[in-house]
Amino acid sequence: MNHPSDALAHFELWRSTHQADVERALSTWVTADAPAGLGEAMRYAVLDGGKRLRPLLVLGTSEAVGGGRESALRAACAVELIHAYSLVHDDMPCMDNDVLRRGKPTVHVQFGEAQALLVGDALQALAFELLVPESGVEPQLGSTLCRLLARASGGQGMAGGQAVDLASIGLALDQTALEHMHRLKTGALLQASVMMGAACGAPDENATAELQRFGAALGLAFQVVDDVLDVTADAATLGKTAGKDAAADKPTFVSLMGLESAQAYADRLLGQAHLALQATGLPRVSPLHALTDWVGRRTH
């Protein structure tokens, strides 16, 4: 395990195993039972696509703190459902008006706008439902997980960040304002993924604080990398429409600092994430280090 390529192979195995677990769990929990085609549309929005970065962060963090498997898997899927609902609503004509997502027609293109609206709404409810089963998750933990998820996804988290994003189209944001928007819009849910994983175990105060820092740095790095990809990658690689942000006149880290500086900034943030992980003092953090590299590798 000392050779880098061994470590990479080990991570790839960890990643594919955990992705398969998440895929299976999502397929079980997102049933086709909702009537009038809603269930099928929910499955279409959630299954067979996506990197599952957020679930992997939940599971990796939970393993690092010795968390319970069932709780962590439910938390992982709940975060992914919130992410999935936000994509469905974001893609709608009144928001980004996007027609391609993960290489497939977006939900409103496939099922109509009204159904897409309901798909997003129902996925959000299901996310919270997964965290509070009648058995399988201690109520104290379920309650904490709901709180973390609700705060990260609501008006002072993801939804708030999207409101700032809408309001900032065409504006010349400075880096502080841009970072604030992204800390809400994508950072809050990525950080919550880490903290929900942490809640599944019982990390000490120092480890908790460092995991917070890890999640914050990784969350922001993810967005900087995303902005870089938006100008360097094509639709076939991305599985979604490329160049959308520039076309929509949205401020990005690339438009603000230039491509090379944005790439360097991403690397710096990823370095901070690695340092915070080391500082946790937790023994089983190598999948989290590897996930951090994985987020970064998308740039190069």
- Site of interaction with a copy of itself (CB under 8 A): 33-39, 42, 85-86, 89, 92, 94-95, 112-115, 117-118, 120-122, 124-126, 128-129, 131-134, 137, 139-140, 142-144, 146-147, 149-151, 153-157, 159-164, 166-168, 184
- Closer Cβ to a copy of itself, 162 or 263, answer by number: 162
| In the complex, minimum distance from the CB of residue 160 to a copy of itself, in angstroms, rounded to a whole number | 5
**Nearest by Cα to 299 from 239, 232, 218:** 232
H helix runs in the chain, sequence order: 4-29, 38-46, 53-64, 69-90, 107-111, 113-131, 139-153, 158-167, 175-182, 188-199, 205-232, 235-238, 244-247, 253-257, 259-279, 286-297
Amino acid (1-letter code) at residue 4: P
CB 107 within 8 A of CB 41: yes
CA dihedral 281, 224, 49, 189 (to 10 degrees): 60
Q: Which is nearer to a copy of itself, 180 or 289 (CB)?
A: 180
Q: How far is the CB of 193 from a copy of itself (least distance, A)?
A: 16
Measured from the CB atom, the residue of 152 and 242 that comes closer to a copy of itself is: 152
Distances (CA, A) of 117 to 20, 26, 101, 111, 196: 28, 20, 16, 10, 27
- Specify the residue, 119 or 224, whose C-beta has the smaller distance to a copy of itself: 119
Length of the chain: 300
The nearer residue to a copy of itself, 162 or 252, going by C-beta atoms, is: 162
CA distance 275 to 231: 29
CB of 218 to a copy of itself, least distance (A): 22
Instruction: Give me the least distance between CB of 133 and a copy of itself, in Å please.
Output: 8
Which phi and psi angles does 104 have, rounded to 5°?
-125, 160
CB of 120 to a copy of itself, least distance (A): 7
Please give the helix or strand (H or E) that residue 104 lies within, else none. Answer: strand 104-105
Of 154 and 258, which CB lies nearer to a copy of itself in the complex structure?
154
Nearer to a copy of itself, 10 or 147 (CB): 147
Return the H-helix or E-strand segment holding 105: strand 104-105
- In the bound complex, what is the minimum distance in angstroms from residue 258's beta carbon to a copy of itself? 27
Helix (H) or strand (E) holding 101: strand 100-101
Work out how close the CB of 292 gets to a copy of itself at its nearest, in angstroms, rounded to a whole number.
Answer: 28
